[in-house]
Amino acid sequence: MSDGYRILSLDDIEPVPYHARDGQKMLTVQRLLGFRAAGINAWTGEPGESLVPEHHEDSAEELYVVVRGRATFTVDGKSFDAPAGTLVHVSHEETRTAVSGEPGTIVLAIGATPGEAYRPSGWTSFVVADALRREGRLDEARAAIHEPVELFPDAWHAPYNVACFEALAGDADAAFEFLRQAMRVDEQAVRDYAPNDSDLDSLHDDPRWAELVG
């Protein structure tokens, strides 16, 4: 590494279980590179395992690159084979998913909203922190989850993700502290998102929840 560039091998990244989907493993490219121009991460899996979770985007286009192995993509209900070297460009409206077809398959995903400056949310740090939390490594987990708060002080997602982490870790006081911090950045975003976020379920019976979220 120098001041102007960084070299990273996908083989050197330890796969992290993705907390929201069983069997999915993510390679946290964005977090390790500090890449800020677009969202970028990679997914890896063995035959039959999910690589890309079934979803659509609110506004972002995504480009998927099969770096290694072979995947089966399904986009808008149509399935197709995607060997190594395949690029799949998907608009935000289309529902997409991908499943590994060979051992060690890796799919790199890059996404951003056309015409808008990309705003990093630090959600990959949340994935790493949650995996460490599940292993009981709370000090390491908290170090990971606080990284984006320092790097992206203008992003409401950063303190919001810390609030989710602390709620899952059982520290309601810290969770509410970071919810308030997120609301100081974008109150409406938190009010829109928080009520349906299962990571925050443990806070619902606390009087502070109704006060903050309504």
The candidate with the shortest Cα–Cα distance to 65, out of 34, 32, 38, is 38
CA distance 130 to 172: 16
Could you give all domains of the chain from N- to C-terminal order, each with its CATH number?
Answer: 10-112 (2.60.120.10), 123-212 (1.25.40.10)
User: Is the pTM above the cut of 0.95?
Assistant: no
Please answer whether residues 51 and 71 qualify as being in contact, where contact means their C-beta atoms are separated by less than 8 angstroms: yes
3-class state of residue 57 by DSSP: coil
- 123-134 and 138-151 are packed helices; what angle lies between their axes, rounded to 10 degrees? 170
Kindly state the DSSP code that residue 202 receives in the 8-state scheme: G
Please answer whether residues 69 and 103 qualify as being in contact, where contact means their C-beta atoms are separated by less than 8 angstroms: yes
Residue-level pLDDT, tens digit, the chain, 214 residues:
456 888 999 999 989 987 555 568 999 998 888 888 899 999 999 999 999 988 989 899 999 999 999 999 999 999 999 999 999 999 988 999 999 999 999 999 999 999 998 877 777 888 888 888 888 999 999 999 998 888 788 889 899 999 999 999 999 999 999 999 999 999 999 999 999 999 999 999 999 999 998 7
